[in-house]
Amino acid sequence: MYKIAVAGTGYVGLVAGVCFAERGHQVTCVDIDEKKVEVMKSGVSPIYEDGLEELMQKNYEAGRVDYTTDYQAAYKDADAVFIGVGTPEKADGSANLSYIATVARQIAESVEKDCLVVVKSTVPVGTNDKVEQFIQDFLTHDVRVEVASNPEFLAQGSAVHDTLHAERIIIGTESKWAEERLMSIYEPFGLPIVSVNRRSAEMIKYASNDFLALKISYMNDIANLCELVGADIQDVAKGMSFDQRIGNKFLNAGIGFGGSCFPKDTKALEYLARQNGYELKTVKAAIDVNKEQKLKLYNKASKRLITFDGLKVAVLGLTFKPGTDDLREAASLENVPLLLEQGADIYAFDPVGAGNFAKVYPEGRNGNGTITYVSNVEQALKDANVCFVFTEWGEVKALTPTSYKELMKTPLVFDGRNIYSVEEMKKAGVEYHSIGRETVMRKDARESKQLELQSSRS
């Protein structure tokens, strides 16, 4: 059992801290926000994450995890301090390391015994060398402090599961002492550990995330071509997925990737390459494809309709993916302002993200248009002239083609997640535009409906 402190209680820090406690370590989570600390002490999670609150309550009651703003007390006698603070994107695409620097200095000024500092936050390759030097410069006690890299691969919505059952733990260290301490902290997890040097560990994080971002953008690029040549991206993806070298994950075409990692990490790696005089053409292509993809549906709809002015527009899903209330880099944030500018009356449904969205676009008038937040999909669709699907929430997936036909004034659907069957939409008489698949126009839908009726009569 180790005494562990965790700096930062966002997705990375809080989940890591609670999972270390769950595996038997003594953990103190540190955050500068007093209110947030109080909330966490009361057993409430500041983020929406499946299973997290239960683990917080269980481990708090067992005395294995605590929360504080008093970093000095937490770091002073910790065997390891994990850093999980944010590294947001700067305007030029580089990572903002000011939070890491602040924590590094606080650690240097607090530690009174040998301590391993473990950076979980995603940082540009080479940063942890500087963090170690920075800590050495500010140390106030004669103790051993080294820095290890331990990038985090959890996905939002399955963060606890991803941490407790990770496919691999990457540790990047520069000494036997650091490697052994970190391995032994992870021993109770019983997971495969890949031990490499610090710079390789930092690179593994970017290379993994950017590869997945590339994979999605590649499928989006192929989807766009499928539309032009009459192929179906879902059939194409299925055919590809049986090749084990390709695999069956992250092959879903849609309206682009969002979230806190892929957009930021693609830009950061591209920036790092540029800083080193190298052009990272593949990653740059992924960024470009993604930018265009987010407006794919809006552009399709704009070509189809003369105007959105005065139309009731149902928006299903606001978050960047289901299972989270996070809106960072979500396609909705690109599309909704354009719809409002065009004078649309938006009825938006999102089971957990609506509150956050309302902070940016409050209920009521927003410029030329209006936005109303509704608590179920039916309310959003009732008498709507057009519908956009941005997130594949269960409630949205559960809708049948017939319900679109029955609820909407004009059944015209733009699906950014390829949730429904083209054939079923056609049969139900719904005009249906999706990504990389056949478009069902009003005429096709009507004809198909008439054929249906005729065959059922005969």
Kindly state the number of chain residues that form the binding site for ligand UDX, as judged by CB under 6 A.
18
Token output for 391: 């997130």
Q: Among 13, 86, 258, 401, indicate the residue that binds ligand UDX (CB under 6 A).
A: 258
- What mask of x and - would describe binding to ligand UDX in positions 187 to 226, judged by CB under 6 A? ----------------------x------x----------
Q: Which of residues 395-414 bind ligand UDX (CB under 6 A)?
A: none
Quick one: which segment of 35-43, 92-100, 256-264, 403-411 binds ligand UDX (CB under 6 A)? 256-264
Contacts of 282-287 with CB under 8 Å at 24 or more apart are 282/214, 283/210, 283/213, 283/214, 285/214, 285/217, 286/210, 286/213, 286/214, 286/216, 286/217, 286/218, 287/217
**Complex with ligand UDX: residue 258 or 429, whichever CB lies closer:** 258
Site residues (CB under 6 A) for ligand UDX, limited to 359-398 = none
CB 16 within 8 A of CB 6: yes
Give 153 or 186: the residue with its C-beta nearer to ligand UDX. 153
Among positions 55, 171, 261, 314, the unique one binding ligand UDX when judged by CB under 6 A: 261
- The distance of closest approach from Cβ of residue 420 to ligand UDX in the complex, given in angstroms and rounded to an integer, is 17
280-339 residues in contact with ligand UDX (CB under 6 A) are 320-321
Q: Of 320 and 393, which has the nearer Cβ to ligand UDX?
A: 320
Site string for ligand UDX, 5-24 (x = CB under 6 A): --------------------
Candidates 20, 67, 257, 347; binder of ligand UDX (CB under 6 A) is 257
Cα–Cα dist 434/445, whole Å: 15
Catalytic status, residue 261: yes
Contact range with ligand UDX by CB under 6 A, out of 1-9, 84-92, 146-154, 342-350: 146-154
Q: Does 254 bind ligand UDX (CB under 6 A)?
A: yes
**Sheet with strand 412-415: strands edge to edge:** 364-366, 369-374, 345-349, 312-316, 386-389, 412-415, 431-433
Cβ proximity to ligand UDX, 385 vs 391, nearer residue: 391
Q: Does 252 bind ligand UDX (CB under 6 A)?
A: yes
Q: Between residue 435 and residue 454, which ones bind ligand UDX under the rule CB under 6 A?
A: none
Please pick, from the candidates 153, 186, 189, 218, the single residue that binds ligand UDX as defined by CB under 6 A.
153
C-beta separation of 148 from 182 below 8 A: yes
Helix axes 11-22, 52-61, angle to 10 degrees: 50
Tell whether residue 123 is a contact of ligand UDX (CB under 6 A): no
What element of type H or E holds 61? helix 52-61
d(CA 409, CA 307): 16
Q: Segment contacting ligand UDX (CB under 6 A): 18-26, 101-109, 150-158, 164-172?
A: 150-158
Minimum distance, C-beta of residue 268 to ligand UDX, in the bound complex (Å) = 13
Query: Does residue 147 belong to the site contacting ligand UDX (CB under 6 A)?
Result: no
**The Cα angle at residue 358 between residues 354 and 359, in degrees rounded to 5:** 125
Report how far residue 54's alpha carbon sits from residue 45's, in angstroms, rounded to the nearest whole number.
9
* Residue 172 to residues 17, 111, 181, 198, Cα–Cα distance (Å): 19, 22, 12, 4
**Side by side, which strands form the sheet with 80-83?**
65-68, 26-30, 3-7, 80-83, 115-119, 145-149, 169-172, 193-196
Buried b (16+ CB within 10 A) or exposed e, 366-404: beebbbebbeebeebbbebbbbbbbbbbebbeebebebb
Given the residues 29, 115, 226, 261, select the one marked as catalytic. Answer: 261
Q: Least distance in Å: CB of 141 to ligand UDX?
A: 34
**Phi-psi label, residue 126: left if phi above 0, alpha if psi -120 to 50, beta otherwise:** left
Q: How far is the CB of 212 from ligand UDX (least distance, A)?
A: 6
The answer to whether 225 touches 236, Cβ cutoff 8 Å, is no
- 203 or 311: whose CB is closer to ligand UDX? 203
Helix (H, G, I), strand (E, B) or coil at 373: strand
Give the nearer residue to ligand UDX in terms of CB position, either 106 or 324: 324
Query: Minimum Å distance from CB 259 to ligand UDX?
Result: 3
Nearer to ligand UDX, 78 or 171 (CB): 171
| Helices of type H across 144-261 | 159-164, 176-186, 198-229, 233-241
**166 makes contact with ligand UDX (CB under 6 A):** no
- Catalytic residue list: 261
Contacting residues toward ligand UDX, per CB under 6 A: 152-156, 209, 216, 250-252, 254, 257-259, 261-262, 320-321
